[in-house]
Structure 1
């Protein structure tokens, strides 16, 4: 199988925060991979913009070091690196003042044949300043696109204000709110599995599905993000955006077409159909200190923080398709293994023709986002050998690296794909403003309730699957979490 690489049109991409960690670790290495694949036109330009006093040459040296640090050593040649670096430029800019905007205007092409894109890889507090200055300095043309990173607000009020500020200068069709989870190959394959196969869609409803589990577990703690994270917590940092988006893709109705607004319309309907969870359907946790590292309180340098580093929830969607089907979400830091997985657990057969010794069996469709992206369908078969009808569950496994061979190694990562979608003008995998606001409308009352009550998170040990109460959340209804595997 040969992977098709379709070149994009000529573009100028300005990365505000071009010397920052995200730019060095993800954005620019991703663009370099797209350049090496032949997807970037030779005349396209990438312009770093930041507060540091750097020349073009110094900026290129810094990015060369980033490529060597964050990409495999044998994945590129010196010739490719030089050709890519030649497309890089740098402008020292004051996001809240006047310095550098004239130089940026001279550098960015503003003609009908060049796509303009502006990546806001900066703190959300600067989004409005950047949008205003791009407008007042007449740098951004009518077809310009802006990319904004999460967190997109910290509650409904701030999200509405930010949306309003951006819309003062850009149309909604120009705003790309990026969530890198939606750029993962397996997330998009989820839509292909659902809507491209007659096998699954007829079963994708309350008649056949017992429950759905979504797990995003991390082994790292808050580390250097302690100051930010302690004001955010797992609910704001993960559930309101990443897990909510995965839930929407699992639960949404088939869109009429695979285009941006049709897909996002269906996702919005899911968020609006979400019931407010009951208090005893939510478990909040906070990891404790252990011999192998600091606990949460030590990392955020606080003795009394009640911010959660773990959350598990049972959710219900009030519509015909999913009536009575619980959706279980969990995410946390310093857990047993790093994994992101969605599991659709189907009901047992209505009547078993086998004796009781054959055990209980059910089909589980698992979509692994990381690590080892792939899809597994568990099926029940007879265990080989004599001795009667003994049943055993085995996986039909499509790990991309195994199934696709060398082609899987060249699959673009999330940032690569999403940035190229920005250049193409495809908003399908980006959040719309009303979608963000609907998610905050659902999230805010939950946070306000536990904040008002001063509820402390349940402690859990580093390297485990979270607080015991999270297991009880499942056990009380005769279910269990699937194991977290690396």
Structure 2
């Protein structure tokens, strides 16, 4: 099976921060892949914008190197790369001053889609929006793409929303969370709402609990300055994991349309109960395996910023009342993996007695790596000798079930950028959704700051602090093993 390529309309895409890591590591190589697959029209153009003085050819040389670094040699097409590079130009722009703005405005074509990607630090979002407005680059058909972090707390998120709203309407603002562009995340909605098999069971009456895990093997070395001001709660839980929780817990929208989907996600966030201190664990990784500790990586021996968070959340509505949602994320853990595991309840009565092989049904949605969906069911063990039960997986790995073409499915950034050009906001966060997430997160952070407690140390290569295991053990449950 080969993914279907649907061309987009002609566009001018400006990437602010075009020489930065996100642009060269993800955005520009992703746009090359879309071009190589035939999705970009002939009239599409991409403009790099940054502070560094640079000519068009110098920028193309930089992008060529970025493509070579991001894409394996066997998947590169020399002719396609050269064609893509002809689409590129560069303007040196001062985000907080006036240099370069008239030149940038002169490049924009009024008869095509105009999109502006803010691949810069959040402190420049307001300044960029203001100057785009001042130089007439905020027409009704223009769009801006805003990277996370979108605010540091509720107050800063509200202030940023207000600043952007002075210069652009809400329908022009695309707050990007790349997790929503992942193929398996979108398949979660398809599994729920396109299959009668699951939706009637997707409620507290039948679901025992849900686990969401986002584990990483890397530490924070190299980005300690940013991370130590953020921590796992702000960096992962408030945005990525909140979005996953919303997609699991939301009611069926009336249609797969931007505001219909986002309205239902907002209801989930507003239905979240406050998290009790006893239901939250924070941790920091120790030194080990020839690598430094968290304190070493951030060069702050007294830091109390967490590199690990585990918590139990409850959604107080009719569908989920009483069903716990367990979330955990951390650095320097055993394996790099992201998954959602839905554990269903046991049958009310077992006609087979208490057999060891009988376990609760489990639906696992694996986001990375090896994207796929697995349903674990109980069957009879083959052979004579009575009714012996065993657990077996019904496994749909995308790479195996969908064939070689599944390997060519666009990554999250590619898909989301194409949605920006199409004007489709379904997989982007709305302003009130961001503020609601911060309204739930802020009291959690304020509570532990008021207590002054330190994150618990944990060994690298493990599953996090011991208290995170107890979070489930005291409920008679266990975390799923973190494995590649």
TM-score, normalisation: structure 2: 0.99
Match of 1:231 among 229, 249, 252: 229
For residues 80 and 327 of structure 1, the distance between their equivalents in structure 2, rounded to whole angstroms, comes to 46
Q: What per-residue deviation string (whole Å, max 9, x for no partner) do you get for residues 60-105 of structure 1?
A: 0000000000101111221111100000000000000010001101
Question: Structure 1 residue 24 and structure 2 residue 21: aligned?
Answer: no
Contact 2:357 2:391 in 1 (8 A): no
For residues 147 and 13 of structure 1, the distance between their equivalents in structure 2, rounded to whole angstroms, comes to 10
**Map 1:59-458 → 2, pairs under 5 A:** 59-111=59-111, 114-458=112-456
What is the deviation of 1:358?
4.0
Contact 1:222 1:299 in 2 (8 A): yes
Contact 1:110 1:140 in 2 (8 A): no
Q: 1:70 to 1:2 in 2, by over 3 A?
A: closer
Structure 1 runs of 4+ aligned residues shifted over 6 Å read: none
More deviation in 388-397 or 208-217?
388-397
What is the deviation of 1:409?
1.2
More deviation in 381-390 or 413-422?
381-390
For residues 357 and 277 of structure 1, the distance between their equivalents in structure 2, rounded to whole angstroms, comes to 36
Q: What per-residue deviation string (whole Å, max 9, x for no partner) do you get for residues 291-310 of structure 1?
A: 32111011011111111000
Contact 1:52 1:92 in 2 (8 A): yes
For residues 409 and 326 of structure 1, the distance between their equivalents in structure 2, rounded to whole angstroms, comes to 35
The alignment partner of 1:117 has SS state of: strand
Contact 1:110 1:139 in 2 (8 A): no
Contact 1:144 1:174 in 2 (8 A): yes
Contact 2:219 2:331 in 1 (8 A): yes
Contact 2:341 2:362 in 1 (8 A): yes
Question: Structure 1 residue 7 and structure 2 residue 22: aligned?
Answer: no
For residues 109 and 355 of structure 1, the distance between their equivalents in structure 2, rounded to whole angstroms, comes to 72
Q: CA RMSD, aligned part only?
A: 0.8
For residues 231 and 76 of structure 1, the distance between their equivalents in structure 2, rounded to whole angstroms, comes to 39
The alignment partner of 1:306 has SS state of: coil
What is the deviation of 1:201?
0.1
What is the deviation of 1:139?
2.5
What is the deviation of 1:42?
1.2
Contact 2:250 2:264 in 1 (8 A): yes
For residues 208 and 254 of structure 2, the distance between their equivalents in structure 1, rounded to whole angstroms, comes to 27
For residues 68 and 84 of structure 1, the distance between their equivalents in structure 2, rounded to whole angstroms, comes to 13
The alignment partner of 1:215 has SS state of: strand
For residues 2 and 232 of structure 2, the distance between their equivalents in structure 1, rounded to whole angstroms, comes to 40
Contact 2:339 2:364 in 1 (8 A): yes
Contact 1:358 1:389 in 2 (8 A): no
For residues 467 and 124 of structure 1, the distance between their equivalents in structure 2, rounded to whole angstroms, comes to 32
Q: What per-residue deviation string (whole Å, max 9, x for no partner) do you get for residues 7-42 of structure 1?
A: 000000000000110000000011001001111011
Contact 1:378 1:396 in 2 (8 A): yes
Contact 2:358 2:391 in 1 (8 A): no
What is the deviation of 1:474?
0.3
For residues 359 and 139 of structure 2, the distance between their equivalents in structure 1, rounded to whole angstroms, comes to 59
The alignment partner of 1:418 has SS state of: helix
Structure 2 unpaired stretches of 5+: none
For residues 302 and 25 of structure 1, the distance between their equivalents in structure 2, rounded to whole angstroms, comes to 28
What is the deviation of 1:2?
4.1
For residues 212 and 357 of structure 1, the distance between their equivalents in structure 2, rounded to whole angstroms, comes to 24
Q: What per-residue deviation string (whole Å, max 9, x for no partner) do you get for residues 407-452 of structure 1?
A: 1011000000000000000000000000000000010011001001
For residues 418 and 291 of structure 1, the distance between their equivalents in structure 2, rounded to whole angstroms, comes to 37
What is the deviation of 1:248?
0.1
What is the deviation of 1:455?
1.0
Residues paired across the two proteins, number: 484
Q: What per-residue deviation string (whole Å, max 9, x for no partner) do you get for residues 233-288 of structure 1?
A: 00000000000000000000000011000000000000000000111000001101
